[in-house]
Structures are given as C-alpha cells and as structure tokens.
Amino acid sequence: MGSIQSSPEPVLPPQPPQLIQVREVKEVEELDSIVTAVVQKYSERARIGKKKYGTTLDRDDLNVVDWVNHTQEELMDATLYLEKLKQTLIVKKLDNTSLHRVHL
C-alpha cells in the first residue's frame, strides 16, 4: 500500500495584531497602575506618530536595516537624555539641593 503525502501548509505573512479589547485594558487597570500609565502613554505616542508621520508601525516600506537604524537613533537619543538627567542630578547634589519626588 502506498502512503498519501499531504502538501505542507502554506506559510502566511504575519497579520497585524488586533486592537486591544476594552476588557483587556480594564483587566490591566485593575492589576497595575504603572502598566496602565505606560499603556496610555504608548497609545498617545501612537496617535501623535500617526498624525505627524501619516503612518503606523504596520508600514511595510522599510527593510530590516532601516528598522535597526531607527532603533539605533532612538537609543542614541535616549542615552543623551540620560546623560542630561545625570548631570542635572550631579549639579543639584553639588549645590546641596535636596531632590523632591516629582509627580508627572
């Protein structure tokens, strides 16, 4: 008897994730205020980015090297911001200025 071989399933390109369901956001809010704040900031950042650049991260006009370059540029900016904060803290310490908790 011969065996019947089935052809492999076609590989489909990844689909963009669905929007977060309201129920899932409510669950996050109930669990962790920090995560909720970060999720809200990401949402706002995404809205600003779409308005400013007219596209989202679902875009397909960039290749892997382009995405790596964007990431490097963002991380370089982040290190500059950290250095600025560090120098500000050092100056405040040298000035004997006490640091107070800041509410954002």
Report the C-alpha gap between 82 and 85 in whole angstroms: 5
Q: What is the DSSP letter of 54?
A: S
CB 35 within 8 A of CB 77: no
User: Does 81 lie in the same domain as 66?
Assistant: yes
Q: How confident is the model at residue 71 (pLDDT cuts 50, 70, 90)?
A: very high
In this structure, is residue 10 part of a structural domain? no
pLDDT tens column, 21-32: 556 666 666 778
Determine the Cα–Cα distance for residues 82 and 70; give it in Å rounded to an integer.
19
> pLDDT at position 97, please?
53
Mean pLDDT of 1-21: 62
Parent domain of 70: 62-104
Measure the CA dihedral 48/49/53/59, to 10°: -140
55 and 30 share a domain? Answer: yes
**Phi and psi angles of residue 44, each rounded to the nearest 5 degrees, phi first:** -65, -40
57 is written with which tokens?
Answer: 């991260």
Whether 8 is covered by a domain: the verdict is: no
pLDDT tens column, 87-104: 988 887 777 655 555 444
